[in-house]
Amino acid sequence: MNNTEDHVETTIEGHEGLIKTPKQLIVTVVLAFIVPVIIIFLLIRLVISSAIPAAGSDAQTPEAIASRIKPVAGFALVDANAPKVFKTGEQVFESTCSACHTAGVAGAPKLGDTAAWAPLIKEGYESMLQIALHGKGAMPAKGGNPTLSDFEIERAVVYMANKGGASFDEPAEPAAEGEEAAADAAKASAEAPAQPAPTQPQPAAAASGDAAAAQQAEKAPAAQAEQAAPATETAAVDPAGEKLYKSVCFACHDAGVAGAPKLGDKAAWGPLIATGMDAMVEIALHGKGAMPPRGGSQASDEEIHAAVQYMVSKAQ
């Protein structure tokens, strides 16, 4: 019996616990809470570390986010009948030319680089203008913006050339179409010879005059019908359609981008016209292939219908 009790006491003493004091107990309890929390925090950091921007990065600023999500292209509806407001040379440069002439893309002379502009300036203003208007090498005609007028291109050439060391004069702004028409009419009126005063017809010629008047009266209804026909056809095309085309649709349909039928191409528009106006309007409203709904605009259904009608009228 004594041997058994001694063996039990020896066994208990051999398996003595690691926590011997109250201080060790407190430390153990604290660590039991802190260590799991630290492990969980490190796991979370590991999971989201790929989404954390680098130090000093401004990729998550409101400006950077707005820049990334903004539309690829913008547009604005303008009144086609409003007076033309020409862009300045600087405005044309910033909107069209800066893409190449700021960084020197494809050998384009950088803005303000006098050494690069010197050979072009030496060739003369007219030579540079022809290159800008019709393109050369990697540079497309009018910088790839066909909506710019020749006068606006002239302004841009003068602006860039003068920044490169030239001293070209600012081109004169062309007169408005109404002013040109009035000037031409005044000039024609001044140059026209004086018409002789009409003479009284002789009694013998009265009968023949009455017969001629009767013939003209018979032909008048037919002539009026012929004149009314094209007027009716023109009135059928809503001006809003042309306005929307020139502000939005031209970007693809002028150059046939991504297979878009070019304006006035009867062969390309023929199959579409055969499907009917309603089918073409549905495609314009909801998109098809590379074409986005409503051409990527916020135009109303009526404006979309008018734009389709305008393009169809040009292909008939």
Q: 203 CB contacts (<8 Å, ≥6 apart)?
A: none
Q: How far apart are CA 52 and CA 50, in angstroms?
A: 6
Shared fold status for 89-163 and 239-314: yes
The pLDDT score that the predictor gives to residue 225 is 46
Tens of pLDDT, residue by residue over 167-202, are 888 888 876 655 555 555 665 665 555 455 444 444
Tens of pLDDT, residue by residue over 253-297, are 887 777 888 888 888 888 888 888 898 899 888 888 778 888 777
Contact (CB, 8 A) for 170 and 155: yes
pLDDT at 121 over 70: yes
The pLDDT score that the predictor gives to residue 36 is 93
pLDDT at 6 over 50: yes
| Cβ neighbours of 159 (radius 10 Å) | 20
Tens of pLDDT, residue by residue over 208-233, are 445 455 455 555 555 454 444 443 34
| Average predicted confidence (pLDDT) for the chain | 75
- What is the per-residue DSSP string for 128-160? HHHHHHH-BTTBPGGGG-TTS-HHHHHHHHHHH
DSSP state of 88: P
The residue to which tokens 């841009």 are assigned: 156
* Range of weakest confidence among 10-19, 61-70, 78-87: 10-19
Closest by CA to 95, choosing from 128, 70, 73, is 73
- Type of residue numbered 74: G
The pLDDT score that the predictor gives to residue 234 is 42
Domain 89-163 CATH superfamily: Cytochrome c-like domain (1.10.760.10)
| Cβ neighbours of 119 (radius 10 Å) | 9
Contact (CB, 8 A) for 160 and 111: yes
Angle formed at CA 140 by CA 134 and CA 141, multiple of 5 degrees: 30
Tens of pLDDT, residue by residue over 16-64, are 677 788 888 898 889 899 999 999 999 998 888 765 555 566 777 888 8
Closest by CA to 168, choosing from 101, 123, 135, 109, is 123
Domain ranges of the chain: 16-49, 89-163, 239-314
Of the chain, the percentage scoring pLDDT greater than 90 comes to 4
Considering only the top CATH level, what class is 239-314? Answer: mainly alpha
The pLDDT score that the predictor gives to residue 218 is 55
CB burial of 263-300 (b: ≥16 within 10 Å; e: otherwise) equals: beeeebbeebbeeeeeebbeebeeeeeebeebbbbebe
pLDDT at 4 over 80: no
